[in-house]
Structures are given as C-alpha cells and as structure tokens.
A = this chain, B = another copy of it.
Amino acid sequence: MTSQVFTVKLQPSGRRIEVPAGTKLLDAARLAGVELVAICGGEGSCGTCRVLPIEGKLSPPTLTEQGELSPEDLAAGYRLACQTEVLSDVSLDIPAESLTTPQRLQLEGQEIPTELDPLVIPAEVELTPPNLGDLRADLSRLDQALSDHGFPQVRFSLGLLGKLSPTLRLNGWKVRLALRKSEEVVAILAPGSVLFGLAVDVGTTKLAAYLVNLKTGRTTAQAGAMNPQIAFGEDVISRITYVNDHTGGGEILQNKLVDALNGLVNELCSAAGVAQDQIVEAVIVGNTAMHHLFTGLPVRQLGEAPYVAAVGSSLEFPASQVGLHLAPGAYVYLPPNIAGYVGADHVAMLLGAGLYQVPGTVVGLDIGTNTEISLFHQGRHLSCSCASGPAFEGAHISDGMRAAPGAIERVRLSGEVFQVHTIGGQAAVGICGSGILDAVAELLKAGLIDMRGVLNGEHPRLRTNDDKVEFILASAEESGIGREIKVTRKDINEIQLAKAAIRAGMEILLLEAGIQDDDIQHFIVAGAFGTYLDLGSAVTIGMFPNLPLERFKQVGNAAGSGARQLLVSARQRRAADEIARQVEYVELAVQPDFMKVYMAALAFH
C-alpha cells in the first residue's frame, strides 16, 4: 500500500518538496534543504520551530503546541513544525527567526565616496526658562534662539511640537535640534546627540537597510529581511492583482512592509546603540511598484496598458504619514521613478555605481524579473525595461530555488571534469540563478546543447528517458534531498527567454543610439544576481555582448549605495532629479524592430 503524496511549499525560499501524507513539517523542511531551528531536536519542548501555515490541511494543534506557543501566536495560527503533520498540499511561511541560516541577503555594494552635503544638520540651543516676567510660549522662545543662530522662519511639525515642552524641561532648557534644509526642525534631542539616517533598498523579494552616521557618512549598521509582501504574490504583477482584487489590499501591503521596516529600524538601533529619535531622515528606493505600495499610491494603472506611474517625480513626506517610526518630524525621501517599470531603484543604482559620471559609452543594468537597462552615449541617456522573467530568481526552473544555503551556484564542465558548488558548501538542495546560468553556459561550451537549446550528445550525466533528455547536476545520493537535481530542456528554454529579453532590450537601445556592441566602453552589472553571476557564462549564452572582460564591472547592491548617498547629499538628490529629467525612456512594446531582434536573440550562437 502506497500512501498519498503531497507537495509542501516553503516560503520565503520558494522551495517545494513532495512528501507522503502524515510527514511532519519539520522533516519536510529538512528534506527540502530548509533547516529550521529546533533546539530540542523535534521534541516539541523548545518552541523554536515556529511556522505559519498559509494554506492546506494540517493535523490539529497538539497539547504540546498549546503549551509552547504564546496565546498571540496560537491566535495568529502559528504551529510548531515538529508537531504538525501534512494532510494535503500545503504552503508555509517560515519566519526568519526559525531558520538556522537565513537566505543570502545581498547588503554589500561598493561605497562611492560622496561629498557630505546632508539635508539635516544639528543645531545646539540654550534657552532662558520662562518666569512671571517673561511668559512667552515655549515655541516663541525656541524660535527666537533659532533666529539668533541665523535660522529665522523655521517650521515644526505637530508631532514634534508635542514633545517640545517636556524635552526642554527635561534637558534644563538646553537641547540639540535636527534642522532640515534650514527650514524645519525634525528632532529635539539631548545636547550632543549624534544624528543618523536610514537608507533602505526595498526589493520585490528582499529588504536591505542601512543606518548611516550623518556626520561621517559612514554606515554604522546594516540589516536585511525578506519583503513580507511576498506572502501576497512573489512578483510585482501578482501583488498588483492582489490589490486590485481586495478592498483595502493596498493598505494591507503597505502596512506589512512598514511593519518590516520598523522591525529593521529596531534591529539597527539595538545593534548600534542608537535611539529611534536620532534617525532624522530616511531614503527609500525600490521599483515603481514597491515605491507605490510603500507610499500608498494606487497601483492599478501600473498593471494595465499603458502602464504608467501615478508619481514619477521625487517625493518627500513625513515618515509618520506612513507609520514609519523615526524621529517625530523625520522625512522620507524617494528618488524619481523613470517609468512604470524603471523605478527609483534604477535611479539610485545609476547614482550608487557613479554611472552617470563615467565618461564614454556606458551600459548599466540590474537583472531581475524585470531588467532595467540604461545606456549613456554622447550626452544621451536611454533606458528601457525588459520582461526577463523570474528564471534567474530560481522560479520556473524544475529544481530552481532562490540563492539560499544548499543552492548550486557554480557549475564547471570540461572534458572529464565536472564540479558543482553550493552556497554554504553543503549538499545540494536545488539550483539558483547563477547556477542555472553556469550550467547552460557549460553545456553549450561542451556541445551538449545546440543553438535551438536542445540537449543532446554523450556525457555520463546526460540521461535520456523516453523523449526527455536531462542533465544530472546531483544524483539522489549526492544531493541533500534524496533525489536528483537536474537541468531539463524546459529549464534551458526558460533561460533562453530571459537572456533574449535582456539582450534584445540592450540591442534596441544601441540601435536607438546608432552604435554597436563594441562601442560599449563600460558595462556595469548591479544587483544580487548580477553580482554573483559568472560574466563568462553570461557572454557564452549571449545574454551579454562579447566584450573584453575588463569592460565589465559587477557593483553589488548599487541601489543601496545610491540610497545611502541620497541620504547624506543634497547634491545627489539634485542629480537624481536631473537623471529623471534627461532620461529618454524607450518603450520596447512600440519599437517596430523589437520582435525581430528578440526572435534573433532567442537562439544560441
């Protein structure tokens, strides 16, 4: 008798695993290569393997769970993975604290030295206390002191005014003010307090947050987390659909994100020993959809032709308006969006990589489900967005997964030699974007894939079952999940679609500028996947043009670097506006040559 088999889907990594009915969630996760904290070894006595079921049928909560989980957790539907059995196809959300090794979050990104030109500066004032002979209001007294310091006509938000009287009295009428653009006070602090800023890159999948000392410009602490909106759709389009289909959906997604950002703020503050009130300015960058979902702007028109942004220009508003807990008067700044699918994060990336300052002909791109490309040539700046799809995020690939521990990220195949390397060096549990890119490139070089993308030839790891040809990257014995990890014809096809979209976008920009591949003097690749991908492989499969390797540069999370620059430099904010004003956005959908170029780019040459 064979028992029924169900699929367990594990968020946020996106791993799937098939298990027999009755399998414990903890075991299912382990089989999928997702290691949960389980200090007690699965005895139900430590409460550390908390998971949140999203859908599917599970065994009812045990008495052990009722004892170990808090009433709040129970009410919210949390379960202990070691106690809970799979009774149907299920989908689970695994909180970050339940994972032994969190998903790789790419926080780095080079620091381009930026001249400090912060928007918020400290001003130390000492006031004479009121008495029966001097009954001026507290604010009038402070206004006078600011005027004496050379700052007349300074504004205060209501939230800040609410703290004024007690803070003045608590500090003996001597305080440090955080003064923004010489026109508004955003924080009232104890004398000598250091001012900090918050920069966040809000990715569709990941959040990267930085705490920056506004006096030195240095990053004091950094922290990463998954974007919690992932539970409402893995990509931008499915989140827009969620908002369109649910009343108040936009608010829900906004609140989820803001809660996560507040969590990161707490984490950064604890790590650096900084009070929330000391964070006097924030910069948030993200694609146009993340930008709109964070700010509470409507997204319906982003999901319908002609796909326009509600707001393109740079925005700034009090952080309290979106519920972000910083200093009471702190502002949030977001750089401009270029178009519906070329967002503020691309502008930040161009700044962070110093791209718009590089002389000569430069291509800059950030590969994701949408790939944004900019071409700078003879004073023109062209940009476009390519629908490259989620293959490089591990989606739509049979054994695909995100860049988490156990993911195959490198493949080498040369004659007798065959090597795979996984993130963390452990037994393979799947294959991530840079791994599938490598695999396809190596199979091409070895002649095991033809120009149409068909697998054939002779190799010990190449196996033909009926009509299906597959290349085995890890056998059931080699893998960490007890079954094979392989590359299929369909996987190769997904990579073809992605690379053709990216290459065709680039070709259209070159056509528009009237130049050719070889005219590109600098080719800048930003973002997580762009940093870890093998440039040779990208050239081999034809995704990138065949330029000398020294013209390429991988710059890491340049959007995060750009966000930090925008935090400390009014000059960089003007540059961001300038980029948005000068850019020529090229809508690929209306380019007559696009389909021809795209079809040509599908093949391997």
A residues lining the B interface (CB < 8 Å): 130-133, 135-140, 143, 157-159, 161-162, 164-166, 169, 295-298, 300-301, 305-313, 315, 317, 321-322, 337, 339-340, 585, 587, 589-590
Pull 15 A–B residue pairs with CB atoms less than 8 Å apart, ordered by A.
A130-B306, A130-B308, A131-B306, A132-B306, A135-B308, A135-B587, A137-B308, A137-B312, A139-B309, A140-B313, A158-B295, A159-B296, A161-B295, A162-B298, A164-B311
Contact B135 A296 (CB under 8 A): no
Collect the chain B residues with CB atoms within 8 Å of residue A130's CB: 306, 308
Task: Report Cα–Cα, A522/B505, bound state, in Å.
Answer: 81
Q: From residue A261, how far is it (CB to closest CB) to chain B in Å?
A: 16
Collect the chain B residues with CB atoms within 8 Å of residue A310's CB: 137-139, 161, 164-165
The contact of A590 among B133, B161, B169, B308, by CB within 8 Å, is: B133
What are the 5 tightest A-B residue pairs by CB atom distance, in nearest-first order?
A137-B312, A137-B309, A165-B298, A165-B310, A139-B311
Collect the chain B residues with CB atoms within 8 Å of residue A337's CB: 137
Contact B138 A296 (CB under 8 A): no
Task: Report Cα–Cα, A321/B320, bound state, in Å.
Answer: 9
The contact of A322 among B133, B139, B158, B321, by CB within 8 Å, is: B158
Chain copies in complex: 2
20 more CB-based (< 8 A) A-B contacts, given A135-B308, A161-B310: A131-B306, A132-B587, A132-B589, A132-B590, A135-B306, A137-B311, A137-B312, A139-B309, A139-B311, A157-B317, A158-B321, A158-B322, A161-B297, A162-B296, A162-B297, A162-B298, A164-B297, A165-B297, A165-B300, A169-B301
Task: Report Cα–Cα, A322/B259, bound state, in Å.
Answer: 22
Contact A137 B313 (CB under 8 A): yes
Task: Report Cα–Cα, A494/B166, bound state, in Å.
Answer: 36
Q: From residue A240, how far is it (CB to closest CB) to chain B in Å?
A: 13
The contact of A158 among B164, B296, B340, B590, by CB within 8 Å, is: B296
Q: Which residue of B lies closest to A298 (CB)?
A: B165
Q: Which residue of B lies closest to A312 (CB)?
A: B137
Q: From residue A330, how far is it (CB to closest CB) to chain B in Å?
A: 14
Task: Report Cα–Cα, A132/B143, bound state, in Å.
Answer: 51
Contact A166 B295 (CB under 8 A): no
Collect the chain B residues with CB atoms within 8 Å of residue A322's CB: 158
Task: Report Cα–Cα, A157/B321, bound state, in Å.
Answer: 10
Contact A307 B340 (CB under 8 A): no
